[in-house]
Structure 1
Amino acid sequence: MASNFDFLKVDLDTAELFSTANMAENNYTQKDYEGVLTKVRKVAENTAVLFADRAFIELPSHSTLHDKLQIIKHHINNKDIVDAFFEIKEHGNSSAHKLNPKDATKENALKSLKQVYMILVWFVTEYVDDQIKVSLYENFLEPKAQERYTTAERKFIYVQTVNNESGKFAAFEGAQKIGEGTVASDDIEADWTPNSDFLRSVAPKRIK
């Protein structure tokens, strides 16, 4: 599955955020919305620390995410970014500390992913690499689960003729029906040679 957060790999500091952000996307496809909210919160907190470092803002040691946000919000001239930080914090705290949190819904999980994406695009374009296209803001895609692995199949060609020993099918005598079918190829011991006993046994089950 392609990740919305591949652009984080442009810098060593932001590259460390990629793994957790990508895991949050995977949680979403698995309907683990609680996992999404807690991981997004981690990414947001670490982004806040990176921002403070790049903006030369001193944060108290052992400060909570709330403490960090109360300090850095005065240095961010974008209300949407500030609001996104605080909303991510609220949903993340609820998911981290409560059993069966009501916040852990598909809607909140998707919104949090979009919000942290917006925060990260803002941070990367403003403080890491201003050459990254601003159009990234419009490129977020809802994570989709990869198609599950399906058993590989092999195609076989068959030729059917009519047994007219009874004399009841004279009209079809000498006629041939040629077609194709498929059969699972996971049996490595199977004999796939033409007209083998294996093919003769499975073909009738797969021919319609």
Structure 2
Amino acid sequence: MSSNFDFLQGNEDSMGYFRAANFLEQEYAIGNYASELTSARKIAENVVKFILDQNYMDNDATFAQNLKAVKYHHLLNQQLVDLLYAIKQPGNEASHTLEQYNKQDGVAALQHLSAI
């Protein structure tokens, strides 16, 4: 089965991201949207940690603090920072509530993640 994230398979550093994104697509396919949003948030958090690490910066803080550091130090352009925030908020909500999510929420998470 082909994945929207197949391009991540070519590099050892990105294989973990590929496996997580592939699982996220499977969650979407079975309609497990809350879990998908949580998984997308987890991937985004690890992307932010990787960016900080590649810039020799501490990445042991919370996702919110790490994302603020990326934004403050202009390590990514504003469009990418906005996408990361767009993934973070619903992922946090899905992790901490019993809300039901729908296909549109799932599509948005996939689109945001693939844009990063």
Which ranges of 4 or more aligned residues in structure 1 deviate by more than 4 Å?
A: none
Instruction: Give the number of the structure with larger relative contact order, counting CA–CA contacts within 8 Å between residues 6 or more apart.
Output: 2
More strand as a share of residues = 1
Does the CA contact (< 8 Å) of 1:57 and 1:72 recur in 2? no
Does the CA contact (< 8 Å) of 1:27 and 1:35 recur in 2? yes
Correspondences of 1:105-116 after superposition (within 5 Å):
105-116=102-113
* CA apart distance, 1:98: 0.3
1:96 corresponding residue in structure 2? 95
TM-score, length basis structure 1 = 0.52
1:132 corresponding residue in structure 2? none
Between the aligned partners of 1:83 and 1:18, the Cα distance in structure 2 is 22
Does the CA contact (< 8 Å) of 1:5 and 1:18 recur in 2? yes
Between the aligned partners of 2:32 and 2:109, the Cα distance in structure 1 is 13
Between the aligned partners of 1:94 and 1:66, the Cα distance in structure 2 is 14
1:73 corresponding residue in structure 2? 71
Figure out how many residues of one structure are paired with residues of the other and give that number.
Answer: 115
Alpha-carbon RMSD across the aligned residues, in angstroms, is 1.4
Gaps of 5+ in 1: 120-208
Which of 33-42 and 6-15 deviates more?
Answer: 6-15
More helix as a share of residues = 2
Does the CA contact (< 8 Å) of 2:37 and 2:91 recur in 1? yes
Greater gyration radius: 1
**Matched residues, percent identical?**
33
* CA apart distance, 1:6: 1.0
